Amino acid sequence: MSKTILEKFGEKVRKERHQRGLSQEELAARAGVHRTYIGMIERAEKNITLENIEKITKALGLKISEFFKDF
């Protein structure tokens, strides 16, 4: 069974976060969102807005286009 877009996005956020050695709390603080929100995204429980995609990718030090490269 293929993964949903939410699952793919959540896995990518987790992967990028781990590569940078960030906790969910640290990423949330950098992005200006709540820690539980990051967890919900990583578990594919939230349908994230474009504005929050931008916040999270910036917090990871990536441009949106870089984040979605090889998506």
Please determine, for residue 7, whether its predicted confidence score (pLDDT) is greater than 90: yes
What integer pLDDT is reported at residue 50 of this predicted model? 97
pLDDT (tens digit per residue) in 50-63: 999 999 999 999 99
Please determine, for residue 1, whether its predicted confidence score (pLDDT) is greater than 80: no
Asked if 28 contacts 34 with a C-beta cutoff of 8 angstroms, the reply is yes
Banded model confidence at residue 33, pLDDT cuts 50, 70, 90: very high
Please determine, for residue 46, whether its predicted confidence score (pLDDT) is greater than 90: yes
The Cα 13–Cα 35 span in angstroms is 13
- Superfamily name and number for 5-64: lambda repressor-like DNA-binding domains (1.10.260.40)
What integer pLDDT is reported at residue 70 of this predicted model? 84
CB-count exposure of residue 6 (10 Å: 0-12, 13-18, 19+): middle
